[in-house]
Structure 1
Amino acid sequence: MAKIQSVEPNIADLANSWLKSYKLDYKLEQESLNTEIDQALNDYYSKNGGVGGNRPDAKLLLQDKKLVNYPILIEYKGYKDKLVKLDSEGKVANKTAKNQPDFKNINSYAVNGAVHYANALLHYTSYTDIIAIGMTGFKDDSGNLEYEIGVYYVSKSNFGIGQKVDDYTDFSFLKKTNFDKFIDKVKKLRLTQDEIERLKEQREQEINTSLVKLNNDIYQNEKGLSERDRVYLVAASIIATLGVPGKVAALEKQELKSSTEEENRDGDIILRKIKAFLNEKNLPQEKRELIVRTLQNTLTTDNINKVENGESQLKRVFTKIVDDLGIYYKIGLTTDFTGKLFNEMYSWLGFSQDKLNDVVLTPAYIATLLARLARVNMDSYVWDFATGSAGLLVASMNEMLNDAKDKIKSPDKFAIKSAEIKANQLLGLEILSEVYMLAILNMILMGDGSSNILNKDSLKEFNGHYGFGKTDEKFPADAFVLNPPYSAPGNGMIFVEKALSMMSKGYAAIIIQNSAGSGKATEYNKKILKHSTLLASVKMPIDLFIGKSSVQTNVYVFRVGEAHQKDDTVKFIDFSVDGYTRTNRKKASCNLRDTDHAKERYAELVDLVRFGKSKLNIFTEKEYYEGKIDPENGADWNQTAPIDTKPTLEDFKKTVSDYLAWEVSNLLKNQSLEDDRLGK
């Protein structure tokens, strides 16, 4: 059978003739568009999985009425049915079932190739909105050229997956007179919440793979770097490549020249970029100096800047970090992504061998639960006395910003409130300097609530005041969230007692080893109840921290500023079945699955704690129990619903019914045996 001839040259000729007729300044495969885009296409892995060398068939930059530049990347094919390959959910299928790049699809289909190029720009450039166009065709029996076009929007808002814009029969939507209307249509594209959740899950799997690869690569190939150095290098590299639009350009890999010239070594260049970035973030000077001082020790050492074979170790590590992680913070991180990032980096610190440092970082959905149980809103002042990587503060900040977005309809006023929340309404304390740097980076990535993240011992050094700028002013905390180190006195209740004693009002939600409520923290608990009321005790799933810890935990919720009375009602909730199925398989595509209405269960839990049994829906009174505690006891916080052993009339009827059925069965059986005997 004769091989079908590709008509790609005909397709390219037709499409390029349109672009020429629209008087657009387009560039062909080998031509340069601009240095930033050229470099990104060269650095990104190729359509075959090799290193670099991505070349779209045509490319151009178009500007809309708001003076925003949009890269347009076009890929041509020359066969029938080679426009686009979609997955079972209707998305561009550039990933395999194992979440690896599907090079066969990327290579064979026009749209898939164009979306691949667009992701190169998301990964390595400052462009966040790209148009990917695919076009293919064939000649019919009469020799006429048939063709089809696919136009997709690839952006950080859709996580680089690509969304179809519309059906088109030519490229005239790119004409200057039509482009603004086209961009208006693009901006109206929205992902559903389900799509967002699925894409988040997919990205979470990817970032896990990338982080493990990065850590192993640095560990195996870069000698002389401690765990602390690795964490600081990730933090420094990410800060240096974030940039501030219009003010600080993101540091590019090629700017590191591996020079031995004084003040111009790779470490010096990265440090200058970090200083420029921090200056634009309007952080207090003392905070800026502390961050620079911490990172400087690693960045300016002789060994890491020593040049061998024309390259410093620092440049190699910087390049690996940007190559492996760049896309995740370029496309706009969420708590879930940063949670993965910081859990993995935290594990690099080797704390698993140090029994004193038994902090287990809180999963993002539990962090959000604690923020909601502490009734965090846009006017809250939230603090955390053992902040770790700041996951609880990030979750609280998101709750505050979402509340502000719902209530404030003026964009100007929302921007002012958003800045106020980030600068003045969050405070975290972390004693371990390495983890402290993760917290700083986390809050900077989230945009930036790092102003009052303090590197202090919350039990010995903290007096309740702001940490920077307003050190003579008390932080007016009215919401407290905590996941303490369980090795601290009272399983960590010492932190709770101190924090709540420094508050005059508000709410608190903590997750802690449940033995804290049944005898391990009696004295601290009695002190707490002298100024705060226990509202709820929630038994959490035993496998909540699977792979990290297997202790039974409880969430305790308090109202601060009112002593607990013996007649106060406490809501005891058995939440050990929360709707999630967890596994700890390293090669599993997902270790957390919603298998039984988990989101609805978490929402119901928040309602039950706040409003009581009228909100029972999925749960029953077997899991929900209202009882009392003795404020002078301190070890009776983990109660369960009592089991009623008194038989009811229904129980009696069932027992009699079962007995009669058994008697009749026996009589029939005996009769049958008697008949058999007589028959013989």
Structure 2
Amino acid sequence: MARKDKIVTPSVTQKLQSLGYNVADWDDSKTTSKLTDEIITVLKKASKSENGNEGYPDRIYCNKKKKLLILVEEKPTMQEHNIESIKSGCIAGLKWYLKQFLSEKFSSWKIIGIAVSGDLSDQYKHKFSCFLIDKQKISLAENVNDFLKENEFIALFNNIDEEKAISKVTKVSKKINKLLRSIDSQKRPIILAALMISLYRSEKYDNNFPDIYENYTSEQILNNIYPTVKNILTAEDIPEEKLKSLELELNSINQDLSLKNTNILKEILKELDENIIPLFNDTFSTTSNYDIMGKFYEEFLRFAGVSNVKKGIVLTPRHIATLFTKLIPFKKNDKILDLCCGTGAFLIAGMNKLLSLKGIDVQNVKSNQLLGFEINPTMYICAISNMLFRGDGKSKIYNMDSINDDKVNKIISESAPTIGFINPPYSGKENKEDPTPKEITFLKKMLDSCSRYGIIIAPLSMYFKDTEVRKKILEKHTLKYVINMPKDLFQPNASTSTAIAVFETYVSHNFDEDVVFYDLQDDGFILSKNKGRTDIYNKWNFIESELLDEILNGSKSDDIVISRARIKKNDEWNIYAHSQPDYSKLNSQDFCNTINDYVIYQSKKELGLLEEDKTEFEMINVLSSYILEKNKINPKYQCKTNLELFDKNRKWEYFKIRDVFDRIESTRGTTTYDLTEGNEIPYIAAKKKNNGFDYFVSEDGNEEYISDGNGIVFINLGDGSGGYSVYQAERFIGMNGKTSVGYSDYLNQYNALFLITILDKQRYKYSFGRSWTGQRFDQTKLYLPCKDNGSIDWEFMEDYIRSLPNGNII
């Protein structure tokens, strides 16, 4: 019998159906076919009247096999969500039912409670709260704000311990950073690593420091840190000469008054002892690829306002380190190499992957199957600390230059690594001013050093520069997959566009076989204040699964998100060279945006406001009045033909850019300093804003630089606007080498704006140093409406633009 006061809102039912659930599985029935005897027994005494009678929530979902139980309470209005009465309040009522299951007998169950009030289908007219029972406590699942699929609900429990640990690491790192605020940000990670190591209880050295440091004065702590660290690391087979840099760094802070005369170090040791060291003693250390020392290092640099990428340091996000281990098959005897291991993220991920295999020799993995090199002494000691606490005291991590030190080759040869992972320093130049090796140099060394596979994440520029080196790589190794990563992957600490490349080593590339190119535009992570990029909506598991399934097992090739292409020796290694824009999403609003941008520019020009310094409010006020008046004077365009963009009777085809324009020529402008000042001719810069307008110059004295009007200007270079186009109705001057201009006898201001809308869909391909020039430019294809005879339908393009809002006043 159903509850008399049972509330089931239609919006929740619709949501469950949209997720693929059978809504009947969410009713409040109490049959043994749905619920276990133990659950039924609890609910028979769960009345909200607290009289011992039976009580059932509005909905119950139970998967007995997976031991998943979800209780749902619903209220029709948002106002009832937080009422404290268990009978009237949504959350209060839900928590009442959850409390009935706070028993040891349900410790193996995954129990979730959901409170939803109002209309779930309306973003602003509902409230949603999700709770979990974790270790017999009811905890709010802050990141869950809607119903999930069953596997996503289960994933909440799989991640809960790791998320708690990560939250603790973040909190502690911020606190320690604050305590060390008077210390140079580059020295803080070394202090932290040294303090961590001093707390390590080694099997090979009887370390009593953790037991007695609380009785030390601050000066005694300072004096004992290095001797303790030295004894521990020497016992763990770390050569004494490798500790010299650490000794120098620690000696330099021994006289620091803020450390000598306060309890700062003792406070930090207590934080580490109570909150961080225990993490290494549970399953977190072997099941999570979370880079604890990397997180501390990241926090210290961020606190000091240091941009890692400017220093060539870009620490690998943990979900990417884990992804590396899933892109290739592992064998239990594989050996992992990282030529610039940083704080150890890839070594941790590789170690955990190996330890997950059956029949593995744990000690051998930790002692002989991991090999890392790190030239930066700060990150080297952080890596040692990181791996030490994961039971890897003998891991072979060396403070050496993996590219230029000849001794490295001997070490690699003796270790015989099979798999290489690398996130090399970015923007190396290999010259006198910047001797840092290029990313491609690290890649070649890694591939030549590993007998099975190599994976790299590097800036996109690596994938189209250094053609000769890339050709040599393919003579020995096979490029299998290239995955473009989201542009904000390394935020908030660095901003750079990157891609992952997977190689099978010592198998020459077969140019008759496809390379898989994948554009991962979104990994589901969002940038949160104080937390960095986090997967708060639990999207990554699904995205990763879809990516891996498509790359490893799929056959799809839409030439937009995924492209399977046979490359040539000189080809670029990125999807932008092997894909087309997604024109299926093209709609009238795209064209309206182009029209509006041009109308605003045109109006500013007609009113003499292009070089005027007005407030944004003043400009909006003047322009809106002017545009409104123009619309009154110019009647809306009337066209008798059907102007549906993708009408079933209208054909669209791809046209090469040089078949669209009768001639394309370079603009002729010189540097702005050489142009004669004036107010007749617009100088068009490599930018999209204001239709490219920069300022006016004189016609006299600049004649040789002037280009004809009624042309589309292509912005060929520039990270800010490279790949964009603008229409210039009148004569202009454009910068030679950065812009070019296309002309056609059919071109006018209307169809030009149509073409620009289509052209701008290409813009995503041209940034991060990838110019829209040469062969890239010539291979550009425009998706355009055409006539029955296959020629471009210029008339339709004009009519379509004129028919749209503001198209009549261009």
User: Normalization by structure 2: what TM-score?
Assistant: 0.48
* Alignment partner, residue 251 of structure 1: 209
One-letter amino acid matched to 1:375: P
SS at match of 1:242: coil
Residue pairs, 1:75-224, within 5 angstroms: 163=135, 194-219=156-181, 223=182
* Alignment partner, residue 110 of structure 2: none
Please say if 1:569 is aligned against 2:514: yes
SS at match of 1:547: coil
Distance in 1 (CA, whole Å) between partners of 2:447 and 2:315 is: 22
Distance in 1 (CA, whole Å) between partners of 2:378 and 2:296 is: 13
Deviations 1:108-155 (A, max 9, x none): xxxxxxxxxxxxxxxxxxxxxxxxxxxxxxxxxxxxxxxx998999xx
Percent identity, aligned pairs only, is 23
Residue 535 of structure 1 and its aligned partner are, at CA, apart by: 0.8
Deviations 1:435-466 (A, max 9, x none): 11111111112221653111111110155546
One-letter amino acid matched to 1:237: L
* Alignment partner, residue 345 of structure 2: 391
Q: Is the 8 A contact 2:527 2:534 kept in 1?
A: yes
Residue 399 of structure 1 and its aligned partner are, at CA, apart by: 0.7
* Alignment partner, residue 177 of structure 1: none
**Quick one: structure 1 residues 358 and 302, their matched pair in 2 at CA, closer, same or farther if it must change by over 3 Å?**
closer
RMSD between aligned alpha carbons? 4.3
Deviations 1:230-284 (A, max 9, x none): 2222112212223147974563364354469xxx93345444543554466xx33
* Alignment partner, residue 655 of structure 1: 649
**Quick one: structure 1 residues 323 and 301, their matched pair in 2 at CA, closer, same or farther if it must change by over 3 Å?**
farther
Distance in 2 (CA, whole Å) between partners of 1:551 and 1:506 is: 29
Give the unaligned 5+ runs of structure 1: 1-79, 81-88, 91-147, 154-160, 166-190, 409-413, 658-680
**Quick one: structure 1 residues 149 and 378, their matched pair in 2 at CA, closer, same or farther if it must change by over 3 Å?**
closer
Deviations 1:207-245 (A, max 9, x none): 2122112101221xxx4x333442222112212223147
Aligned length: 447
Distance in 1 (CA, whole Å) between partners of 2:261 and 2:495 is: 49
Residue pairs, 1:220-235, within 5 angstroms: 223=182, 225-235=183-193
* Alignment partner, residue 400 of structure 1: 354
Distance in 2 (CA, whole Å) between partners of 1:560 and 1:236 is: 38
Deviations 1:193-213 (A, max 9, x none): 642302322332232122112
Distance in 1 (CA, whole Å) between partners of 2:315 and 2:224 is: 33
Please say if 1:367 is aligned against 2:307: no
Distance in 1 (CA, whole Å) between partners of 2:307 and 2:417 is: 35
Distance in 2 (CA, whole Å) between partners of 1:291 and 1:233 is: 16
Residue 551 of structure 1 and its aligned partner are, at CA, apart by: 2.1
Higher relative contact order (CA 8 A, sep 6+): 1
* Alignment partner, residue 624 of structure 1: 562
Distance in 2 (CA, whole Å) between partners of 1:500 and 1:302 is: 41
SS at match of 1:500: helix
Residue 610 of structure 1 and its aligned partner are, at CA, apart by: 3.4
Q: Is the 8 A contact 1:352 1:358 kept in 2?
A: no
Residue pairs, 1:333-482, within 5 angstroms: 333-334=284-285, 338-348=290-300, 352=306, 357-403=311-357, 407-408=358-359, 414=360, 417-448=361-392, 451-465=395-409, 467=411, 474-482=414-422
**Quick one: structure 1 residues 374 and 389, their matched pair in 2 at CA, closer, same or farther if it must change by over 3 Å?**
farther
Q: Is the 8 A contact 2:291 2:344 kept in 1?
A: no
Distance in 1 (CA, whole Å) between partners of 2:161 and 2:520 is: 28
Please say if 1:497 is aligned against 2:481: no
SS at match of 2:648: helix
**Quick one: structure 1 residues 465 and 644, their matched pair in 2 at CA, closer, same or farther if it must change by over 3 Å?**
closer
Q: Is the 8 A contact 1:333 1:446 kept in 2?
A: no
**Quick one: structure 1 residues 338 and 351, their matched pair in 2 at CA, closer, same or farther if it must change by over 3 Å?**
farther
**Quick one: structure 1 residues 566 and 247, their matched pair in 2 at CA, closer, same or farther if it must change by over 3 Å?**
closer
Structure number with larger C-alpha Rg: 2
Distance in 1 (CA, whole Å) between partners of 2:410 and 2:576 is: 35
Distance in 2 (CA, whole Å) between partners of 1:277 and 1:583 is: 39
**Quick one: structure 1 residues 582 and 501, their matched pair in 2 at CA, closer, same or farther if it must change by over 3 Å?**
same
Distance in 1 (CA, whole Å) between partners of 2:322 and 2:206 is: 33
Please say if 1:550 is aligned against 2:502: no
One-letter amino acid matched to 2:440: M
User: Normalization by structure 1: what TM-score?
Assistant: 0.57
Q: Is the 8 A contact 2:198 2:229 kept in 1?
A: yes
**Quick one: structure 1 residues 449 and 241, their matched pair in 2 at CA, closer, same or farther if it must change by over 3 Å?**
closer
* Alignment partner, residue 486 of structure 1: 426
**Quick one: structure 1 residues 246 and 430, their matched pair in 2 at CA, closer, same or farther if it must change by over 3 Å?**
closer
Distance in 2 (CA, whole Å) between partners of 1:383 and 1:605 is: 25
One-letter amino acid matched to 1:484: P
Distance in 1 (CA, whole Å) between partners of 2:485 and 2:380 is: 28
Q: Is the 8 A contact 1:378 1:399 kept in 2?
A: no
Deviations 1:2-58 (A, max 9, x none): xxxxxxxxxxxxxxxxxxxxxxxxxxxxxxxxxxxxxxxxxxxxxxxxxxxxxxxxx
SS at match of 1:511: strand
Please say if 1:581 is aligned against 2:521: no
Distance in 2 (CA, whole Å) between partners of 1:443 and 1:564 is: 36
Q: Is the 8 A contact 2:174 2:299 kept in 1?
A: no
Match of residue 463, structure 2, among 504, 508, 517 = 517
Residue 372 of structure 1 and its aligned partner are, at CA, apart by: 2.3
Residue 529 of structure 1 and its aligned partner are, at CA, apart by: 1.1
* Alignment partner, residue 136 of structure 1: none
Give the unaligned 5+ runs of structure 2: 1-49, 51-67, 70-101, 108-132, 138-152, 430-436, 585-644, 652-810
Distance in 2 (CA, whole Å) between partners of 1:393 and 1:200 is: 19
One-letter amino acid matched to 1:207: V
* Alignment partner, residue 46 of structure 2: none
Distance in 2 (CA, whole Å) between partners of 1:388 and 1:196 is: 28
Distance in 1 (CA, whole Å) between partners of 2:185 and 2:582 is: 55
Q: Is the 8 A contact 2:424 2:442 kept in 1?
A: yes
Please say if 1:239 is aligned against 2:197: yes
Distance in 1 (CA, whole Å) between partners of 2:418 and 2:531 is: 42
Distance in 2 (CA, whole Å) between partners of 1:501 and 1:352 is: 34
SS at match of 1:557: strand
Q: Is the 8 A contact 1:377 1:399 kept in 2?
A: no
Q: Is the 8 A contact 1:306 1:313 kept in 2?
A: no
SS at match of 1:376: coil
Q: Is the 8 A contact 1:536 1:570 kept in 2?
A: yes
